Amino acid sequence: MIRIRSVSSWLLAAAIGAAEASCSRRVEERAAAIPAARPEDALVVTTITPARPGGSIVVGSLAEPKSFNPIVGSETSSTEVTYRIFDNLVELDCAESAYRPGLAKSWDLSPDGLRWTFHLRRGVAWADGAPFMADDVLFTFRAIYDSATASPDRDDLTSGGKPFRVTKADDHTVVIETARTFGPMLHVLATSAEIVPRHVWEASLAEGRMAEALGIDTPPDKVFGTGPFRLEKRETGRTVLVRNTRYWKFDQNGTRLPYFDRVLFVNTGDSNGWRLKFDAGEVDNYLVRPEEVDEMRARSGAGGYRVVDLGPRLGTIHFWLNQNPGRDAKGNPFVDPRKSSWFRDLRFRRAVSGAIDRDAIVQTVYRGYAVPIRGPISPGDPRWYNPEVPAQPYEPDRSRALLSEMGFRDRNGDGFLEDQAGTPVAFTFHTNAGNPVWINIGHLIESDLAAVGVRATLAPIDFNALVTTIRETYRYEGCLLSIASSGDPASGTNVWLSGGASHEFNPRQESPATEWEREVDSLVAASLSTADYPERKRLFDRVQVLFAENLGFIYLVSDEIHLAIRDRFVNLRPGRLRAFHNVLWNEDEIAVREPR
Amino acid sequence: MIAFVVRRLLRLVPILLAVSFLSMFIISLAPGDYLTALRADPQISQGTVERMRREFGLDRPWYVQYVLWLERAVLHGDLGESFSFRVPVSALIAERVANTLLLALTSSVFAWGIALPLGIAAGAYRDTWIDRLGSGIAFLGVSVPRVLLALLVLYVSVGSGLFPAGGMKSAATYDLLSPWGKALDVLWHLIPPAFVMGVSGLAEVTRQMRGHLLDVLGADFVRTARAKGLPERTVILRHAARNALNPLITLFGFTLARLLSTSLIVEVTMSWPGLGSLTLEAIRRQDLFVVMATLVMASVLLVIGNLVADVLLAASDPRIKAIA
Amino acid sequence: MSDATELAVPTPGRARHANAAVPRTTPRALLCRRSAALSLAVLALLYGGALLAGFFAPYGMDSKHYREPHDYKYHPPMRLRFVDAGRFHARPFVYSSRLVDRGRALYQEDRAVIHRVRFFVRGERYPLLFGLGSWDRHLFGVDEPGRVFLLGTDLFGRDLLSRILYGARVSLSVGLVGIAITFAFGLAIGGAAGYFGGAVDDVLMRVAEVLMSLPALYLVIALAGVLPPTLSSTDRYLLIVFILSFVGWASISRVIRGMVLSVRESEFVLAARALGLPTARIIWRHVLPGTATYVVVAATMSVPFYILGEVALSYLGVGIREPQASWGLLLNDAQNVTVLRSFPWLLIPGVILFITVMAYNFLGDGLRDALDPRESRGGGL
């Protein structure tokens, strides 16, 4: 059924003609112009099968890249492009879940934990031939901390409220000093500090125009880094990256990576468009929706592709009741005091959690391709998940018992409970109106709670309005939302800490309102002040247990990630840690399969 | 005639002022602003957001922002910068407007190319099966919801392998083609979205053509022509139809002017890289300056489209010229 | 539309038309056209179904069937049968259903168990329209544990036929409410502008022109995004219709204005003025009826715009929300390649939409021909 560009191939073959000859001429010209020397500290990748260079891959995307500036860009559509153009000091191996040397070939930490010394690779060159040096690292940090740039990465790169002190010992040694011991240093360097070339952008930073630099209107020959690819051309709907002939990684045969000649990003509009393009053979990857998994698996043989199951994603979908006891400017409480007292009663939250049938959500909304979760970290996170966290069982009878214990009865025979004063046990909860999956989950929650006598009403609202409500006005009763995880809980301190802005159910407390939140605060502080992973894990395990037991957030499910990828690629090492890059994160190592 | 045109062009100014003012007002009604979405990200601190807010000028009330925008637009020709893309709005629009115009023109040619003959046939053979069939085909076009039609067309394209699944160029092979090859590639990608867009314009034009033709067929000069013994086909095609076309010119102007609205759904569902998808996303994210620029531009197109139609009409019909 | 076109080619038909005080036609002229009569019948059927949705629908608007042992997610339409194992039954029945493959939602008929379809059964209680109370009788149904899903189910196991009937309430009424608002505004404003002329005319028409200059769909999206989030579904529905109408009245008012302008100087209006009749009476009783033909036809032909507009809004996520059903929302569930391939019955609301819109178009067409004096001139071949 799948004819990969059958008619198109015939039509275009007629039109290609002499274009083929001119094409090969172009590649040759480029190759001849740049004699690239092998760097002194080149990296030889041993975990892959050596292959022959050539071929290209077309990657589907759901939006246009907004910018090629890794310091300013935060959206997936932009970062998936900059990820292939720029490198970090440290790399994150998504398949092994480990941090390995990037532009820094090694590093040391001083005994007091405050001074990191990074030894940079020698002989690495930028794509235009200029040498990569410590000054580039210093420049990058200056740009990130620059107030005119207002980079979102800045907050990740602070410790004890202060930015790092970044200096150089010599041209290939960078020293980073922190105010306090900073455990997640490797993680933030691997995910938030892409190194940009000083000699190209120093002037922009000096003029205060760093945020506009490396935009989509920048000439492509200025958009490059030390990464495996550089920008060849960009237009609406399509971004083309071409091989960086000066890349510093090699395979065991001495062939310089990457193998691909080109990586193309195509904006497919919406999921339907993406799926159809994938079926037509126009793109090579596809993020499979849960209802499509079985169908696509059945057709994978004929279609020449594979469906890769990556397990549960790193994020969680959860629900919470507003426990904020505050008042607004006019003195009105955010939540009706009567309901507020219910929400702050652990029995009520346990009743709500026990009434929700997470398996039904998994089966109905995700067609079986999700897992119920117990705590804030999903089982898909191999480094931080604590399997000892107590489960959240489906026990509606116990919920009814708890509600009865709180004094709720159905006093008027309408099937729903009322309290002693006759107030109906009812509340409204919000979710993102633009996300039909969450709306479906919300409906199931409504049904489940109705079965135990609680009248919950779902009121989907526009995303911007939702964020304004939960972050500014605080006038709401419940909310159903999802949180993504970056792979290190240090990035989520705003969520764990009682004083954090993202501690949604009761944010920005001046002092912890409950014992368990006080304990969480001290555990998080302790975990941030050590760089020792086992110690951090131990502390954070306890944080997960506390969150699960006290149901500040009621955790529901994490959906599983399935990706479809064409059969003709080798050296794939699927990993879960980078959204949208899950199968292609090591694109510098992936190659087209040799025809047999 | 010149005076007429100049007067109409002058009217453009207050209209644009009103339109831009209204647009800014409506956008300001929506809760939050572009930066609200960023606040949902737990990794971005309050301080950063505040800093960005000041930099974008979003901390001022909407009427102040409007005045600033107006000043910049009129005095410096600067339509501002997009918050999402950090590039000048004019650059963003310039890149895409050609694509949208291409789509709109092609779909118009397609729609009118079918609707005119269909309307003439329906009028000429009134109340026969040809008339019914013509009306039926025309109505078919308007009756299917565009979102569904777009999906069905894509689905059929992929299933049959005849047409591409959306987009404007063949991603991997476009750059390798000769100039002729490139043009053909774009044309081939153009067919499904132009079809979806054109199909809905069919009905109106067909019915109008039919109606006007019937009007004209009752006129004296037609009776004269018939009395002279001219064959019916010549009467209809050479004399009646040509006169019946006049009122349709205004319809053409109107249709062309509405192209931004009509292309939105098609561009989004079939990933055509035009203004529609840009504006939809900009409205959703409250990317203020992009929305302002697009709305103003759409109004300009609308008014100019109507003006052109009126001028053409006046030029062809001496009665109107006299009144104007 | 622009100034010049309102003074457009004064065809003989139109000139005569403008002087007519009341449209001359009989219902028979309309019904004589088969297509229009058929359309009227279809629409009557659909509206009837919508009014009595609760009665005709075997299940509620939001009745889910996804829990064991009644797991009917994505069930295909059930066939009504009369013959079982060679035996003919006077009353229709359906076979019981077994879930064979959960992942791909494959079901198989279990021919061992028959569920007879009964009529006038007791089922879920539903509220009657206009606050008349509630009732629990349904036109047809089957006894527990059977289910009768004549048009299949969606991902929650909700009966599609029931959802279509309840959705008809929203989708069919959107058009009527919409044209009521639009034409009320258009007539009032266009009539005033045309009759009073001068400054009033100028101001009103400028406002109309500005509104017409805004691209409709963008305006609707922007306005819909502004709606307060905690509106009840009814309020949201009304506001959405209002927004859709907001876009339309401007062009109508311009046409009305043109018509009123040409009628204003006619003899019978001058006579009425000379007689000292109050202005409002003149406008209402003598001027506006001349526009009746245009209004009736234009209104009928505009209804599809509202119906399809609601579908577009649902697609963009700014329209009617769950759990309220509307055809646009139902169609949204079907906007998915997998659904098209594996669960195609979810496209049936699209078919119904199509039929409705076609019916309105043919009806409007028939009305136009029936009311048009040209008809009696015997033109054409």
Residues near B195 by beta carbon (within 8 Å), at least 6 away in sequence? B107, B110, B153
More confident residue, B32 or A184: A184
Give the pLDDT score at B42: 60
Domain finish residue from C117, C142, C158: C158
- The helix or strand, by DSSP H or E, that contains position B225, with its residue range, turns out to be helix B220-227
Q: Is residue C260 part of a domain?
A: yes
More confident residue, A578 or B3: B3
Res. B320 pLDDT band, cuts 50 70 90: low
Q: Do C342 and A293 touch (CB under 8 A)?
A: no
C31 inside domain? no
Lowest mean pLDDT among A12-16, A387-391, A498-502, C345-349: A12-16
pLDDT(C131) > 80: no
**Per the CB < 8 Å rule, is A282 touching B164?**
yes
Cα separation, A308 vs A574, whole angstroms: 8
Chain C nearest C-alpha distance from A442 (Å): 10
Q: How confident is the model over A341-372, as pLDDT tens digits?
A: 999 999 999 999 999 999 999 988 998 899 99
Residue C212 maps to a domain: yes
pLDDT for A140-197, tens place per residue? 999 999 888 878 888 888 887 789 999 999 999 999 999 888 888 998 999 889 999 9
User: By three-state DSSP, how is residue C141 classified?
Assistant: strand
Q: Which tokens sit at A174?
A: 């960078």
Strands (E), A84-172: 90-93, 98-101, 104-109, 115-120, 158-159, 162-163, 165-170
Q: Looking at the DSSP assignment, which residues form a beta bridge with residue A249?
A: A43
pLDDT of residue C14: 36
Q: Is residue C248 part of a domain?
A: yes
Task: For residue B205, name the pLDDT band (cuts at 50, 70, 90).
Answer: confident
- Segment B293-318 mean pLDDT: 75
Mean pLDDT across chain C, nearest whole number?
A: 78
- Determine whether the interchain pair A152/B81 forms a contact, defined as Cβ–Cβ distance below 8 Å: no
Confidence of residue A580 (pLDDT cuts 50, 70, 90): low
B174 interaction partners in chain A (CB closer than 8 Å) = 238
Question: What's the rounded Cα separation, in Å, for the pair B227 and B207?
Answer: 28
Residues C180 and C280 in one domain: yes
Q: Can you tell me the mean pLDDT for A570-595?
A: 78
User: Buried b vs exposed e over A324-344: b needs ≥16 C-beta within 10 Å?
Assistant: bbeeeeeeeebbeeebbebbb
Alpha carbons B87 and A426: distance in angstroms, whole number = 48
- Residue A196 pLDDT: 95
Question: C338 and A428: CB-CB below 8 Å?
Answer: no
pLDDT tier for residue C312 given thresholds of 50, 70 and 90 = confident
Mean pLDDT lowest for which of A207-211, A307-311, B275-279?
B275-279
Contact indicator for C177, C208 with CB cutoff of 8 Å: no
Q: What CATH number has the domain bearing residue C226?
A: 1.10.3720.10
Confidence of residue A271 (pLDDT cuts 50, 70, 90): confident
Higher-confidence residue: C15 or C300? C300
pLDDT tens sequence across A309-342:
988 988 899 999 999 998 888 888 999 999 999 9
Read off the pLDDT of each residue in B173-181 and give the average, rounded to a whole number: 87
Helices B89-124 and B259-269 pack at an angle, to 10 degrees, of 100
Distances (CA, A) of A196 to A34, A163, C112: 21, 19, 72
Q: pLDDT at position B324, please?
A: 44
DSSP letter, residue A222 = G
Alpha-carbon torsion angle C73, C76, C80, C84, nearest 10? -90
Q: What is the pLDDT of residue C200?
A: 85
List, as ranges, residues 322-361 from A with C-beta within 8 Å of C: 357, 360
More confident residue, A345 or C23: A345
Q: Assign A20 a pLDDT band (cuts: 50, 70, 90).
A: very low
pLDDT at B284 over 50: yes
Phi, psi values for residue A531, rounded to 5°: -100, 5
> For chain A, what's the residue count?
596
Mean pLDDT score, B118-133:
82
Q: What is the pLDDT of residues C91-109, one digit of tens each?
A: 888 888 888 877 777 888 8
Tell me if A213 sits within 8 A of A143, measured CB to CB: no
- Identify the weakest region by mean pLDDT among B25-39, B99-113, C247-261, C290-304: B25-39
Do the Cβ atoms of C229 and A469 come within 8 Å? yes
Residue after which a domain boundary falls, among C98, C129, C158? C158
Same domain, C154 and C177: no
**Rounded CA separation C75/B168 (Å):** 38
Residue C171 has which token pair?
A: 């989708």
What proportion of chain B, given as a percentage, has pLDDT over 70?
90
Q: Does the CB of C312 have a partner CB in chain B at under 8 Å? A: yes
In a domain, C358, yes or no: yes
Is residue C224 one of the residues assigned to a domain? yes
| Same-domain check for residues C323 and C353 | yes
For tokens 């000069």, what's the residue? B221
Same domain, C96 and C184: no
pLDDT at A121: 93
Give C309's contacts (C-beta < 8 A, 6+ positions apart): C174, C220, C244
Instruction: Check pLDDT > 50 for residue A445.
Output: yes
**Strand, helix or coil for residue B40:** coil
Do A225 and A190 meet the contact criterion of CB atoms below 8 Å apart?
Answer: no
> What does pTM read for this prediction?
0.84
Contact A363 C342 (CB under 8 A): no
Mean pLDDT of chain B: 81
Q: Are residues C212 and C349 in the same domain?
A: yes
CA distance C243 to chain A (A): 17
How far apart (Å, rounded) are the C-alpha atoms in residues B168 and C225? 30
SS (HEC) of A190-206: HHHCECCCHHHHHHHHH
Q: Are residues C133 and C195 in the same domain?
A: no
Please report which helix (H) or strand (E) contains residue C120, including its range. Answer: strand C118-127
Question: Domain boundary residue among C124, C141, C158?
Answer: C158
Are C141 and C280 in the same domain?
A: no
Residues of B in contact with C350 (CB under 8 A): 144-145, 148
- Report whether pLDDT(A589) > 90: no
Alpha helices per DSSP H over chain C: 3-6, 12-19, 27-31, 34-51, 53-56, 160-196, 198-213, 216-226, 233-264, 267-274, 279-281, 292-315, 327-333, 337-342, 348-371, 374-377
Q: Is the peptide bond before C23 cis (omega within 30 degrees of 0)?
A: no
Instruction: pLDDT band for A14, please (50, 70, 90 cuts).
Output: very low
Task: Tell whether the model's pLDDT for residue A266 goes beyond 90.
Answer: yes
Tell whether the model's pLDDT for residue A27 goes beyond 50.
no
Cβ(A539)–Cβ(A57) below 8 Å: no
Host H or E run for residue B150: helix B146-160
Please check whether residues C194 and C291 belong to one and the same domain.
yes
Q: Are residues C130 and C211 in the same domain?
A: no
| Domain count along chain C | 2
Higher-pLDDT residue of B264 and C229 is B264
DSSP single-letter state for residue B103? H
**Claim to verify: residue C242 and residue C336 sit in the same structural domain:** yes
Q: How far apart, in Å, are the Cα atoms of A242 and each of A76, A102, A265, A286, B120? A: 20, 21, 11, 22, 55
Cα first-last separation, chain C = 31
Average pLDDT value over all residues in chain A? 87
Note whether residue C52 is domain-resident.
no
**What is the Cα–Cα distance from A199 to C154, expressed in whole angstroms?**
59
* Higher-pLDDT residue of A348, B302: A348
Chain A residue with the nearest C-alpha to that of C338:
A292
Report pLDDT for A581: 65
Whether residue C74 sits in one domain with residue C191: no
Domain that holds residue C133: 65-158
Residue C55 resides in a domain: no
Q: Are A301 and A309 in contact (CB under 8 A)?
A: no
Listed residue (C223, C252, C319, C200) closest to B22, CA to CA = C223
B250 contacts C354? CB cut-off 8 A: no
Pair C244, C341 in one domain:
yes
User: Does the complex come out with an ipTM higher than 0.85?
Assistant: no
- Between residues C334 and C222, which one has the greater pLDDT? C334
The pLDDT score that the predictor gives to residue C3 is 31
Task: Say if residue B41's pLDDT is above 70.
Answer: no
- Among A12, A72, A264, beta carbon nearest to B185: A12
Question: Which other chains touch chain C, taking contact as 3+ CB pairs less than 8 Å apart?
Answer: A, B
C-alpha pair distances (Å), B244 with each of B208, B237, B305: 9, 10, 20
Residue with tokens 């809905």: B200
